[in-house]
Amino acid sequence: MQHSLILNQSKNNWDEKDKAMILAFIEYIFTILYINKPVTIKLDDASEDNEEVEVKLNLRLTYVDLDTRVIIIYCKNRGLLDILRSIAHELIHIQQKDLGLLNNTVNISFYLPTPNSEGYEYEYEAYGLSGIIVRNFRAILNGKDNE
Ligand SMILES: [Zn+2]
């Protein structure tokens, strides 16, 4: 399956170490999540040139469109591990869709939901699982089983 990763090198200025880490993480996460169609992950620096999603992105650091399967992550002034966690978080929502979990959810809001919001459990899962995935990835990088 051919996923797309748009690094936006000219804006984000990744160094070689960052780039290697991002690529290793993407490779890792697609081996552990159930994703059944290609996904595009775009690492952007800021919102100016993203007119069509700018409103939705206002005050947000990430965005996922479950229909087009495009994930946009704002990277400006953020640490790399935080960015990786965001990638994991949004990919978990894609996995939820591919597992058919979101089919009966009419109006899901993944942004600042309260426990009474529709789909709260999916947001809760995305936050928890993304933290675990990044932690495990770091442990593998460090050659340890636990940290
Ligand atoms: Zn979410």
Q: What is the pTM of this model?
A: 0.86
CB 43 within 8 A of CB 8: yes
| pLDDT above 90 (res 25) | yes
Q: What percent of the chain has pLDDT over 70?
A: 80
Give all strands of the β-sheet with 40-44 in edge-to-edge order.
4-6, 40-44, 70-74, 62-65
Which pLDDT band holds residue 130 (cuts at 50, 70, 90)?
very high
CA of 80 relative to ligand 1 center, distance in Å: 18
Separation between Cα atoms, residue 59 and residue 83, nearest integer Å? 16
Residues with CB under 5 A from ligand 1 (ion): 110, 123, 126
CA of 113 relative to ligand 1 center, distance in Å: 9
The β-bridge relationship of strands 62-65 and 4-6 is unpaired
**pLDDT the model gives residue 112:** 65
CB 22 within 8 A of CB 80: yes
CA of 84 relative to ligand 1 center, distance in Å: 14
The answer as to CATH 3.10.450 being correct for domain 4-141 is no
**31-52: pLDDT as tens digits:** 999 999 999 999 988 755 555 5
CA of 22 relative to ligand 1 center, distance in Å: 20
CA of 124 relative to ligand 1 center, distance in Å: 8
